[in-house]
Amino acid sequence: MKRFTIPALLVFCFCTFFTLNATAKTQLTYSNFFPPTHIQSQLAEAWIKEVESRTNGEITINYFPAGTLTKAPQTYDGVVQGIADIGMTVLAYSRGRFPVASAIDLPMGYTSGVQATNVANGVLEKFNPEEFNDTALMFLHAHGPGILHTRDKAVESLDDLNGLKIRGTGTSGNVVAALGGSPVGKSMGETYQMLQKGVVDGSMHPVEANNGWKLGEVVNYMTQNFSTAYTTTFAVFMNKNKWAGLTEKQQDTIRAINAEFALKHGQAWDKADELGMEFFKEKGGEVISQSDAESKKWADQATSVIDEYVKSVSEKGIDGQAIVDYIKANL
């Protein structure tokens, strides 16, 4: 019978422990509402590959696009509850839940996705809002200018918009109402069919959605109301317990990847806007620009959305004006 000396036994136990620990795997799930063909879905998959690669396969992630694991409005709660380990969704789908971050979506006159994404993560860093404390937030990103698209009627003035039913969620719906339209709060995934069937007269959305969601097939007019351009903030987040279960080295690795991918998402939104404009024009869409005078009218009308935000969050003890001032100073 083979006998181990005490030192040899210790070495044996250490090696066994090291081998088992080195081969331990963490398997996670990632839920995303974007369809697999959308650039934001493809970037999510690229993020997954980076995490798997840079952790040397210690972390593997199963990807569920197109709302197959959790629907867009339920994704945040789904991650909190552990239905999905990681998720990406629109913050505005959980209306009222993210009072600090909702300021990012206001009609500030955004000019690009990179700009909006930088503002979003700047707000996150400066104000460190408690509203995200029930998850481990990876990063935020935000699309380029959200502007008006209509199906049958060209909108050149505020009078033209009056009474039209326009799809818009969260802040974009508030912008529609401030400008005189009738907002219909539905998710992006429902928009194509609603426009196709004439349930709504138009939609507030970024130019990219004309290609990414093929809305360019069902809208005919694009009003370039850049002075009231809003954005939509997207969050990537992880279940707190799953995050806590990672090693410090793994967490540091993911943080580094997050910093890179926030910018990648912003750049992708801008590239997608270019493709969306091409697709819109290919389908015969008409672009309607605004004069400086008309643009100012729209901006003045939309100011009420910003004012209402400041008032509503102040009732929750949040200095909304400080957040608004920060965003304006960083555009």
Q: How far is CA 14 from the centre of its chain?
A: 46
Residues 322, 226: one domain?
Answer: yes
* pTM exceeding 0.85: yes
Domain-located, residue 13: no
Residues 211, 269: one domain?
Answer: no
Distant-in-sequence, close-in-space partners of 221: CB < 8 Å, separation ≥ 6:
149, 150, 151, 153, 154, 155, 202, 285, 286, 288
Domain-located, residue 48: yes
**CA end-to-end distance (rounded Å), the chain:** 76
Under 8 Å between Cβ of 191 and 69? no
Distant-in-sequence, close-in-space partners of 294: CB < 8 Å, separation ≥ 6:
156, 157
Give kind and range of the element (H or E) at residue 165.
strand 165-167
As a whole number of angstroms, the distance between CA 72 and CA 30 comes to 13
pLDDT of residue 169: 82
pLDDT averaged over every residue in the chain: 93
Domain-located, residue 312: yes
As a whole number of angstroms, the distance between CA 40 and CA 146 comes to 16
Domain-located, residue 135: yes
Residue 253, SS3 per DSSP:
helix
Kindly tell me if the per-residue pLDDT of 52 is higher than 70.
yes
Q: What is the domain count for the chain?
A: 2
pLDDT digits (tens, 9 = 90+) for 182-241: 999 988 889 999 999 999 999 999 999 999 899 999 999 999 999 999 999 999 999 999
Structure tokens at 6: 């005490």
Structure tokens at 153: 């009627």
Containing domain of residue 170, as a range?
146-230+277-329
Q: What is the DSSP letter of 28?
A: E
More confident: 240 or 170: 240
Residues 85, 218: one domain?
Answer: no
Residues 163, 305: one domain?
Answer: yes
Under 8 Å between Cβ of 293 and 300? no
Residues 268, 134: one domain?
Answer: yes
Task: Quote the percentage of the chain above a pLDDT of 70.
Answer: 93
Residues 67, 187: one domain?
Answer: no
Residues 166, 198: one domain?
Answer: yes
Structure tokens at 183: 């907002």
Q: What is the CATH number of the domain that holds 321?
A: 3.40.190.170
Domain-located, residue 2: no
Structure tokens at 181: 């339209």
pLDDT of residue 211: 95
Residues 35, 50: one domain?
Answer: yes
Domain-located, residue 307: yes
Residues 206, 187: one domain?
Answer: yes
Q: How many CB atoms lie within 10 A of CB 103?
A: 28
- Single-letter amino acid, residue 245: G
Domain-located, residue 180: yes
Pure H helices in 23-54: 39-54
As a whole number of angstroms, the distance between CA 127 and CA 125 comes to 6
Residues 213, 245: one domain?
Answer: no
Residues 166, 255: one domain?
Answer: no
Kindly tell me if the per-residue pLDDT of 20 is higher than 80.
no
Domain-located, residue 107: no
Residues 54, 194: one domain?
Answer: no
